[in-house]
Structure 1
Amino acid sequence: MATVPYLKKYYLEKVVPELIKSRGYKNIHQVPNLKKIVLNSAFKAEADKGHMAEVVKDMTKLSGQKPIITKASKSVAAFKVREGMPLGCVVTLRGARMWEFYLRLTAVALPMIRDFRGTSNRLDGRGNYSLGIADHTIFPETQADGSQRANIGMDVIIVTSAQTDDEGRELLRLLGMPFRRSSAADAAAATATAAAKA
């Protein structure tokens, strides 16, 4: 019998009751959940086969599964793109791998960013969240072999079952996403601190 990932267990035992209490859901199936996480990385325009192989290798290490190579569907002369040319790679995570990646992202990788002050708290209007990562080496598994390689940027798209951005934001926050505090929240905290000192 497979073990339940730590974060999924935390979601079921802590996050679901908290969301039911704060949002007044009548049914457990109304509670928003993580559906999938998509990792997407583009190859450099002048990328050779060696660089592409490195990107695929590192994306495999990050996700635990082999990425799909995305190719150009048509030629675009202005961008020097030919039909069938490899453009990047994409991985879709579901189930246990999704929960494990989310935990590594929020608890290990993001805090490794120099001068990290939190992630943007803007969602896409449908409760989904996109995050750009400029340097993939914030994930420890990419540093395991100790080899020097070029930084690989990637997009992380977190798809939830939330109906609104507010629901999605609260779900991700309760699951540990280190959102940047809004200026209004900072002002309120500063006022509370000043009042406490007076």
Structure 2
Amino acid sequence: MNPNRSVAVDKVVVHMGVGEAGDKLVNAERIISEITGNTPVRSVAKQTLPAFGIRKGAPISCRVTLRGEAAEKFLETSIKIVENKINSRAFDKQGNFSFGIEEHTDYPGQSYDPKVGIFGLDVTVVLKRNGVRIARRHIQQKKLPLKQLVTVEDAKLFLKDRYNVEVQ
């Protein structure tokens, strides 16, 4: 098999939406930092939603982007938590996929604390093939050939072979 046709994990984005600033967001940042081992970045609201009490520009969530070995290790742990099953509707046209984890306490080393509560998190996985750098670089940037893009079928096959995931 051509090594440039192999699919790999580009990055894993872990996101916790809290909906408000304050202690809940601080607790979510602490939890996501413990789970991933990286420092989270706050995300702000794009628009004002008076029904939910959210103002534009207010911090409402936090996220961490993992790459390389850390991304692979975290993805392996997360897939085990969802019992090696991912819904087929979780994939987009580029072969990326997302899934949710209902309770942060499912991760190793995490336990329930009544003062903190239970937080859910979203895991988004971006897949790539070797050679995508030609589309991202600044000098001699070129378009990526269509055969070099990751398709949904490629992503499903990658998950089945690499992580033994059943796509439903």
The two structures have a TM-score, normalised by structure 1, of: 0.66
Matches within 5 A, 1:52-63: 52-63=25-36
For 1:110, give the aligned amino acid.
V
Aligned length: 146
Structure 2 residue 135 is matched with structure 1 residue 160: no
Counterpart-to-counterpart distance in 1, 2:37 and 2:110: 12
For 1:39, give the aligned amino acid.
V
Gaps (5+ residues) in structure 2?
129-148
Matches within 5 A, 1:15-94: 20=1, 27-44=2-19, 47=20, 49-94=22-67
Counterpart-to-counterpart distance in 2, 1:102 and 1:62: 12
User: Which of the residues 67, 82, 96 maps onto 1:110?
Assistant: 82
Pick the structure with more strand per residue.
2
Structure 1 runs of 4+ with >6 Å offset? none
Q: Secondary structure at the match of 1:33?
A: strand
Counterpart-to-counterpart distance in 2, 1:73 and 1:120: 29
User: Structure 1 residues 52, 125: closer, same or farther in 2, change over 3 A?
Assistant: same
The two structures have a TM-score, normalised by structure 2, of: 0.77
Q: Secondary structure at the match of 1:175?
A: helix
The alpha-carbon deviation at position 48 of structure 1 amounts to 5.8
Matches within 5 A, 1:114-125: 118-122=85-89, 123-125=91-93
User: Structure 1 residues 48, 30: closer, same or farther in 2, change over 3 A?
Assistant: closer
Structure 2 residue 73 is matched with structure 1 residue 100: yes
Aligned Cα RMSD in Å? 2.1
Kept in 1: contact 2:79–2:85 (CA 8 A): no
Pick the structure with more helix per residue.
1
Task: Render the CA deviation track for 1:24-79: whole Å, top value 9, x for unaligned.
Answer: xxx201111110001111114xx462221111011001111011011124433344
Kept in 2: contact 1:63–1:101 (CA 8 A): yes
Aligned-residue sequence identity (percent) comes to 23
User: Which of the residues 147, 164, 167 maps onto 2:113?
Assistant: 147
- Paired residue for 2:158? 171
